[in-house]
Copies of this chain bind each other. A is one copy, B any other.
Amino acid sequence: MNNLEPQLQEIKEQINQYITSCDNQQCINLFNSLPFGKMLRSQLILKIAGITDESLKLCAIVEMIHTSSLLHDDVIDKANTRRGKVTINAKFGDKISILLGDMLYSIAFSQLALMNQNIAYIIANAVTQLSIGEIMDIELTNTFNTSYDKYYEMIYKKTGTLIEASSKAAAILASKDSEKYALFGRNLGLAFQMIDDILDITQDSSALGKPSMFDFIDGKVTIPYLLLYERTENKDKLKSLFKKPLNKKDILWIKQEMKKSKALEDSILQANYLGQKALEALKGEDNIFLEELINSMLQRTF
């Protein structure tokens, strides 16, 4: 059981209050049908900055930003479910999902404007990087990407920057060494996205809420595919399956090749290595809770 549960509840209440104060019944209803996940970013902030009014507010802001980006993602990916719930776009249409995202973004930025200027800039700037990362993610699906550098840059921007910024901002709130915590967050974010990319292959579709290997079908050459492409003797066959609907035989072949070439195994090692690097960045800091958080994150199954 998560010992931060009461605080995470409080953060949701805080967001609820921001929405309610906008005094529009439809927005309130829409907000109430939004699913919240494990609130990793909030857990991170609270574990770094401790529980204060300021840190709880920062959590609310970051969760609103994260939720906005998911609302827009779901429109982009035409997703019907997220975290086991029907998405806003599937239920109320793309228009509402886009605008609810814009609304949450702007509430977050309004509240951010009232915080420490340095923190406001760090978080807002991370959102720019996040959007660029998402654009890169789409761009990279145009062809079969074989560049590690591009993959790293993309996942750093798409996922790493907001976790890095959350971690850095929390350190600033707590007067800790912000550069150390930024580096920690950066590596944690990279590891987190890699695990996500690995789970797309190892988990079955019921756990994921989308078809297995959806990333590859969707044109995303993630770390296991990058390693597989480098190692397999059947490069042409792998390329021929890219962005195609995969049948059971294709899926089996990819999984066997991944096993044979250790592409999957080494991807997991790579994610763990980044997790270790994240912890190393905090050498000398009191980080027992963060260690727990990283371990639970690296071992997650969905």
Identify which of A32-40, A119-127, A273-281 touches chain B.
Answer: A119-127
List B contacts of A54 (CB < 8 A).
none
Please give me the residue from chain B that is nearest to A24 by CB atom. B132
So how many copies of this chain end up in the complex?
2
Q: Which of B75, B113, B131, B134 contacts A94 (CB 8 A)?
A: B75
Identify which of A97-105, A183-191, A230-238, A250-258 touches chain B.
Answer: A97-105
Identify which of A9-17, A79-87, A135-143 touches chain B.
Answer: A135-143
A252 to B193, CA, bound (A): 58
Would you call A22 an interface residue if the criterion is a C-beta within 8 Å of the partner chain's C-beta atoms?
Answer: yes
Contact of A103 with B121 at beta-carbon distance under 8 Å, contacts A76-B95, A112-B113 already known: no
Please give me the residue from chain B that is nearest to A107 by CB atom. B128
List B contacts of A103 (CB < 8 A).
128, 131-132, 135
Q: Which of B24, B26, B109, B117 contacts A127 (CB 8 A)?
A: B109
A188 to B264, CA, bound (A): 61
List B contacts of A94 (CB < 8 A).
75-76, 94
Query: CB distance B100 to A135 under 8 Å?
Result: yes
Contact of A110 with B135 at beta-carbon distance under 8 Å, contacts A72-B99, A72-B102, A75-B94 already known: no
A18-43: which residues lie under 8 A (CB-CB) from chain B? 22, 24, 26-27
Would you call A106 an interface residue if the criterion is a C-beta within 8 Å of the partner chain's C-beta atoms?
Answer: yes
Query: CB distance B96 to A124 under 8 Å?
Result: no
What is the minimal beta-carbon distance from A89 to any residue of chain B, in angstroms? Answer: 11
Query: CB distance B124 to A27 under 8 Å?
Result: no
Query: CB distance A102 to B117 under 8 Å?
Result: no
List B contacts of A98 (CB < 8 A).
72, 75-76, 98
Q: Which of B99, B112, B127, B138 contacts A102 (CB 8 A)?
A: B127
A55 to B72, CA, bound (A): 32
Would you call A114 an interface residue if the criterion is a C-beta within 8 Å of the partner chain's C-beta atoms?
Answer: yes
Query: CB distance B131 to A99 under 8 Å?
Result: yes
Query: CB distance A124 to B110 under 8 Å?
Result: yes
Please list the residues of chain A having a beta carbon within 8 angstroms of any beta carbon in chain B. Answer: 22, 24, 26-27, 69, 72, 75-76, 94-96, 98-100, 102-103, 105-107, 109-110, 112-114, 117, 120-121, 124-125, 127-132, 134-136, 138-139
13 A-B contacts (beta carbon < 8 Å): A24-B132, A27-B135, A75-B94, A96-B135, A103-B131, A106-B125, A106-B131, A109-B109, A109-B112, A110-B127, A110-B128, A113-B113, A117-B117
